[in-house]
Each structure stands twice: as structure tokens, then as C-alpha cells.
Amino acid sequence: MNRLLLLFLCAMLGACSAPKRMPNINLAENARAKETVFFVNQQEIQVDKPDVNAGGGLLGVIVEAVVESTMDKNRQAAIVPMRDTLLELDFENQFRTALMAAFPESQFAPDQKWVITRNPDDMLKAHVERNGQSFGFVSLRYAFSSNFDMLYVAATMQVGDLGLLADKNGKAKVKYMGKSAEGKYQSVAYYSVHPLKNHGKFDANVKLWAADDGKLARAALVLATEEIADLLKRDFATPLAYDAKVKKQKFWMPWIQNTIMLKASLIETKQQRVLMAYGPVIAWTQLYD
Amino acid sequence: MISNKIVGLLLIALLLTGCISTKPIQIDQLAIDDVKLPKSNCALNLKLFDNRPSAELGTIGFREFQFENYPDYLQRQLDRRFLQVENKAVFEARLLRAYIETNRTTLSFNVVVKMLEPGAPPRIYRGDTTNLNFFGNQSELAAFMERATIELVEKIAIGEGCADSAAR
């Protein structure tokens, strides 16, 4: 149950990760993952969906629908110049190449193959087809927060026997995993969050990102790719874990397509960037100001 | 924030109990009309090449949005809008993106074409539409594709100097 819940929370809501960290294990050579299922449910950079809370009742629902639809339209119009600028960037490919170079040899075979899935149905089928074998799963989301005050890249990473079963209609269903089997997979979410300095209203913010052929956005995507690949390498060598003893601080984080503050453990600081851990979520971001 | 989490968990619960389907939504060819645009008397020979990184048309919620051969449909609309003349240069139009995107209460359809003309810088045209989705039936969903395609064709007409010369 936890595993399917995780898949959908992470992959579709673009949000969180597994409820707990598993220890990394050194797999026998023939048991290492030979394939990685890559799930990306977007074709261009996206903007998180604005959330309006207009209160309860039918009237609240109607007001929410009207206001949110107007905000959706505004944001979809605002993001166009940014999308046009990044049309030929091929971010997905650059991200995959960086990740592949960072895959730990202890769990991945060197001649790794990517299985690219772009919709939930294909992604679930890929899990059913690989049931019983060790494989990797990476979901990617790259987007702006709904006010365009942040650009972030989020990647969920899993490896192990992640297979699902098929019911009599061929629909994917979770398989029972005992405690001993549960330790066979690793799961974590890496974030790289880039808040915009001196941000204002959403339309002004997106202009800042898109200015000069999208210089700021391109730099943020390059840095995010480097940071996530590095996190993957480090984290699989020695898990970067939440430390309950560390004093908690506030960080900027996009969360279930919204912007909130989290109180989490600070792992390290580097040039105004901070590395924080919140359960199995490891993120490079900036302190909340 | 809390409401999002609750909605997220509800979606998962519905998915696991089979109430949310991941079955693709297939749009029938009959559900979509050829765009009703005047035929221009401006000659513009366009040949469309499919250069999309993925031939998929995006998802609506958890379901893939399918329409057989969108590039053919788009080429047909371009041919209907502009006059094709023999012995005139053929411009290369590269289809770079065509997809639907699910927002919170609306759906968006984006279609992007890059025009290549020898000796001139490439020109990018995008048709995009965002609207409320009420019933989710075939004709309503097909209309998203139609509206974005009309917008694209009109932007090409304006950009290529063929906007105000119509002939029947």
C-alpha cells in the first residue's frame, strides 16, 4: 500500500517521498538494476497550479472554480515566453545523462537502459512488466511555483524490486511485501529549489526568469541538474538523513504544488544555498526570509 | 495546504479502489471539425514535419489523451487556410510540441510550430488555449485541440503576412 501511495504522491502530485529511508545495500552483480523506468508527465516547463481557498459550501466551490480558472489562464499566458525560450533546451535528456553518470554501481548495472513513460498507465504497466526484478524508477518534475517566485526540479528515485501485480483485468495492483522484502528497495526525493531574488507579482517574476534568453532559468536548471546528480551520488554512498537533534530552520519548499515553509534539519551551507533533510526529502534550497 | 493533502489522499484511495481510471481517453476523428477559416489567396506552401520529442498528447488527470495522427490534422488545416502554388518555395514547418495539460480547474492545449525559411531566422508560432472543462466528453475535449490549432494557424497567417487576404 505504501509503495503505490508513494508512486502516486511522488509521480503525479509531484510532491513527496517514501515514509522512511532504507539502508543502502550492495547488491550482487547479477541482481543490480539493468533498467530505469523514467516518468515525466510534462512536455515543457510547467507552473504550479494556484490554490484558492474560498471557504466551504457550494458558493465557496463556485468562487474557487471561477477564481482558479482565471488564475490558470493568467499563468498559462504568462509562461509562454519562458516556454518559447526553452523550447530546444532538451532538459529531460540532459537530466537523464547527469543522473546516469551518478547512478551508484552498487545497485545499478553499468549498461543501464531507460524506459521512458509519459502517462500513468504506461508507468504502471512498466512496473507490472518488471515485477520480480530489480529496476530503478525516476520521476521528474521541473516547474515554477504558482507565483513564479521559485523554479524547482524534483526527482523521486527508487531502486529495487518495485514491480506491481496485474489484476484479472490487467490493472496494476500493489503486491504484499513482508518486512524482509521491504528492505530491498531504496526510495528518496531530491529537490533543487531556486527562489527568485526581489520577486514581485507573478507576471513581473516570469519576465525576470525569461529575460536575456532565459538566462536565470537556464542557470537554475543547470545548477539543479548538478545538485540532484551530486545528491544522488552522495546519498547512495552514505544516506543523508534527517537528524532530530539538529536545530530546525525554515526553508523555501514547493510542496504538493504549493509554496510553504518547512522546519527541517540543516545538513550543510554552500554559497547562500542550504541542504536540508525532511524525512526522506533531501533538498538544496534557500533559507526562508 | 491541508486541503491539498486530503485531496491527494482521496485521489489515491479512489485510484486503488478502481474509481479513478488510468485508461486512455481516445478522441475520435469525427469529434473534431476542420477549422472554419477563410481560404487565403496568399500563397504559402507549408510542409509539416513532426519533430516532437514525444508523439503523446499529454494527460488529463491520470489518463492519457489520444488522437490519431494530430500532425495530419494540422497539415490539413494549414492546407485549407493557405493557397498552395506550384513552382513556389516550400517552407518547412516543424511541429515541436502538441499536448494537453491539466490545471486545477481548467485544461490547456499547446501546439508549437517552428517555421524555417532559407536565408531567414526561424520563427516560432504557438497556439494555446486554457478553458474550464465541464463534462469531459469527446467534443468538449476535442474543442481544446481545435481552438489551439485555430490560434496557431491564425498566428502563422499574421506572422507570414497572409492574414488579411482571403478568397473563397
Q: What torsion, rounded to 10 degrees, do the Cα atoms A104, A107, A110, A116 define?
A: -90
Average pLDDT over residues A14-24: 48
* HEC readout, chain B: CHHHHHHHHHHHHHHHCCCCCCCCEEECHHHCCCCCCCCECCECEEEEEECCCCCCCEEECCEEEEECCHHHHHHHHHHHHCECCCCCCEEEEEEEEEEEEECCCEEEEEEEEEEECCCCCCEEEEEEEEEECCCCCHHHHHHHHHHHHHHHHHHHHHHCCCCCCECC
B66: exposed, middle or buried (Cβ count in 10 Å: 0-12, 13-18, 19+)? middle
Which one of A15, A72, A90 has the shortest CB-CB distance to B130? A72
What residue of B is the nearest CA neighbor of A68?
B105
Of A160 and A90, the one with more pLDDT: A90
Residue A266 parent element (H or E): strand A258-270
Instruction: Assign A155 a pLDDT band (cuts: 50, 70, 90).
Output: very high
Q: Which residues are B129's β-sheet partners?
A: B109
Question: Buried b vs exposed e over A207-233: b needs ≥16 C-beta within 10 Å?
Answer: ebbbeeebebbbebbebbbebbbbbbe
Which one of B1, B99, B132 has the shortest CB-CB distance to A43? B99
Which one of B16, B22, B96 has the shortest CB-CB distance to A4? B16
Instruction: Assign A165 a pLDDT band (cuts: 50, 70, 90).
Output: confident
Average pLDDT over residues B15-20: 54
Distance (Å) from the alpha carbon of A121 to chain B's nearest alpha carbon: 5
ipTM for the complex? 0.85
The reply to whether residue B104 touches residue A13, judged by beta carbons under 8 angstroms, is: no
Look at residue A260 in the predicted model and tell me its pLDDT: 62
Instruction: Assign B152 a pLDDT band (cuts: 50, 70, 90).
Output: very high
Look at residue A215 in the predicted model and tell me its pLDDT: 96
Chain B positions in Cβ-Cβ contact with residue A46 (cut-off 8 Å): 101
| Angle made by CA atoms A27, A33, A39, in degrees to the nearest 5 | 140
What residue of A is the nearest CA neighbor of B52?
A43
Coil vs helix vs strand at A153: strand
Which one of B24, B105, B126 has the shortest CB-CB distance to A65? B105
Instruction: Assign A181 a pLDDT band (cuts: 50, 70, 90).
Output: very low
Q: What are B72-104's pLDDT values in tens digits? A: 999 999 998 988 888 788 889 999 999 999 998
Three cell numbers written together for A104: 551508484
The reply to whether residue B62 touches residue A65, judged by beta carbons under 8 angstroms, is: no
Q: What is the mean pLDDT of chain B?
A: 85
Look at residue A235 in the predicted model and tell me its pLDDT: 87
% of chain A with per-residue pLDDT over 90: 40
**Best of A119, A125, A139 to disrupt the B interface by mutation (most B CBs within 10 Å)?**
A119
Look at residue A280 in the predicted model and tell me its pLDDT: 78
Q: Is residue A28 over pLDDT 60?
A: yes
Task: List the single range of A12-26, A153-167, A237-251 with lowest mean pLDDT.
Answer: A12-26
Average pLDDT over residues A263-285: 84
| Residue A273 and residue A284 in contact, taking contact as beta carbons nearer than 8 Å | yes
What residue of A is the nearest CA neighbor of B102?
A49
Instruction: Assign A175 a pLDDT band (cuts: 50, 70, 90).
Output: confident
Average pLDDT over residues B42-59: 93
Q: What are A189-221's pLDDT values in tens digits? A: 899 999 888 888 999 999 999 999 999 999 999
Q: What is the DSSP string of A202-242?
A: HHHHHHHHHHHHHHHHHHHHHHHHHHHHHHHHHHHHS----
Look at residue B23 in the predicted model and tell me its pLDDT: 87
Residue A98 parent element (H or E): helix A91-102
The reply to whether residue B11 touches residue A51, judged by beta carbons under 8 angstroms, is: no
Which one of B1, B63, B126 has the shortest CB-CB distance to A84? B126
Average pLDDT over residues B7-28: 66
Chain B positions in Cβ-Cβ contact with residue A8 (cut-off 8 Å): 11-12, 15
The reply to whether residue A119 touches residue B4, judged by beta carbons under 8 angstroms, is: no
Look at residue A250 in the predicted model and tell me its pLDDT: 72
